[in-house]
Amino acid sequence: MSASARLPHILVIGTGDTKSEELLYMAEIIGQAGGIPVMVDVSILGDPPYVPDHSKHQVAAAAGTSIPAILDSGDENSAMALMAKGAVTLVRGLCEADEVDGMIALGGSLGTDLALDVAATLPLGTPKFIVSTIAYSHLLPPERIAPDLMMILWAGGLYGLNPICRAVLSQACGAVVGAAKAVEKPGRARPLIGMTSLGSSCLKYMKVLKPELERRGYDVAVFHSTGMGGRAYEAVAARGEFAAVFDFCIQEVTNAENGSVVTSGPDRMENAGRAGIPQIIAPGAVDMVDMPAWQETPDRFEGRPYHAHNRLIASVTVSPDQRRAVARVVAERMAAASAPVAFLLPTQGLQEWDQEGEPLHEPAALTAFLDEMRTVMPASVAFSEVDAHINAPEFALKAMEVFDRWVAEGIVEKGRIA
């Protein structure tokens, strides 16, 4: 039976030995909302006062071990890491058997650690919800967060039920059941193109490229390269779901290299190459670092040109030496790709605010980056200079020229026009 023709099966993941009251309440709410709770116990020490659908022993066996062996593994951290491994394997198998329509997990820091791994193994479009005492915390590294993960703070509920806890748990359970009923999962009617960008006040090429690609029979997903957007892009790329990518805003590499919290993790620019996806790459916005506008500018950027985009995010330019360092990182990651890579170098500027008269205009620093990029360009990369700004129509036209050639040569799957 297809998921759409049945009540949604919702995995309920938690340690039943310590949180049975909360987990049973969640199962009750899921049932009332029109879902079927599927209880997955990830306890280690004790047993829950109910019979789970998938016991801790099954979870341990999925990790190739046993509960006694896990107890002897060392400490809480190592034990939960093994249970996380088993939970991921178990849930992946259930998903492949079309037995999962959504998941919800409950936990403190240990339970959240495990839940993040489970959520990451489920495909985009399968609703995933974590009720956590550290929801949205800086403790959560971006690379651990699934692209469509939803979280809510487990407020006032660390130990036992109370009115505040019930309010949080009930809305979380209602949300995941509702999402599982309403979700329109990504289809495969047309090949999917991944594209990275910032908002159109900074980068504008997608306004030209998206309609051109759609006219050729492709769907286009544009990811906002402000940390989590890049993380989502990398997660989809890692699954090999793109026919090709236009990775034109790689600013998150600069952010990571310069210690910004606006980062998408250490594997930015790596997953498409590993998955064998053809890449057209450009250095959009690599000349600046993003940071929270509501914090003081770090001392290391004191005196650098500064632009506040809004009350949340601001940018400063990086020095010529820092730009050369980023060029070397970009070259290294392109060289590791297992499929064709083309690199477009717009010589007149890399984002809207670097033009003459704008706050981030630094022509000498731009020249330093351009020269370094030319020097370190891997021989395996098809390199083209574009004598234009990245926001100029000439740049987008050059990108489509490369793409159309790759389609003609069979490097990229041909689009499907309805």
Q: What is the CATH number of the domain that holds 291?
A: 3.40.50.12030
Domain identity same for 173 and 197:
no
Q: Measure the CA–CA gap between 339 and 381, rounded to whole angstroms.
A: 10
Q: Measure the CA–CA gap between 310 and 341, rounded to whole angstroms.
A: 34
User: pTM of the predicted model, to two decimals?
Assistant: 0.86
Residue 418 domain flag: no
The pLDDT value recorded for residue 2 is: 44
**Edge-to-edge order in the sheet of strand 149-153:** 36-41, 9-14, 102-107, 128-132, 149-153
The pLDDT value recorded for residue 5 is: 62
Single residue among 157, 182, 207 that ends a domain in this structure: 182
Low-confidence ranges of the chain (pLDDT < 50): 1-4
Residue 325 domain flag: yes
Q: Measure the CA–CA gap between 276 and 49, rounded to whole angstroms.
A: 48
Q: Measure the CA–CA gap between 268 and 223, rounded to whole angstroms.
A: 13
Single residue among 152, 182, 212 that ends a domain in this structure: 182
Residue 417 domain flag: no
Task: Pull the structure tokens for residue 360.
Answer: 């981030």
What pLDDT digit, counting tens, does each position of 50-105 carry? 999 999 999 999 999 999 999 998 788 899 999 999 999 999 999 999 999 999 99
Q: How many domains does the chain have?
A: 2
Domain identity same for 327 and 374:
yes
Residue 415 domain flag: no
Domain identity same for 276 and 312:
yes
The pLDDT value recorded for residue 263 is: 87
Domain identity same for 245 and 314:
yes
- State whether residue 217 is helix, strand or coil: coil
Single residue among 126, 148, 182 that ends a domain in this structure: 182
Residue 278 domain flag: yes
Task: Pull the structure tokens for residue 247.
Answer: 């990775």
Domain that holds residue 285: 192-409
Residue 239 is classified by DSSP as: T
Residue 302 domain flag: yes
Domain identity same for 371 and 258:
yes
Q: What is the CATH number of the domain that holds 12?
A: 3.40.50.12020
Burial class, 335, CB count within 10 angstroms (exposed 0-12 / middle 13-18 / buried 19+): middle
Domain identity same for 333 and 390:
yes
CB proximity list for 116: less than 8 A, separation 6 or greater: 130, 140, 144, 145, 146, 149
Domain identity same for 199 and 53:
no
Domain identity same for 31 and 64:
yes
CB proximity list for 187: less than 8 A, separation 6 or greater: none
Domain identity same for 11 and 32:
yes
The pLDDT value recorded for residue 261 is: 86
Residue 87 domain flag: yes
Domain identity same for 257 and 171:
no
Domain identity same for 158 and 210:
no
The interaxial angle of helices 20-32 and 163-182, nearest 10 deg, is 40
CB proximity list for 133: less than 8 A, separation 6 or greater: 107, 108, 109, 112, 153, 154, 158
**DSSP H or E segment with residue 88:** helix 76-96
Q: Measure the CA–CA gap between 319 and 287, rounded to whole angstroms.
A: 8
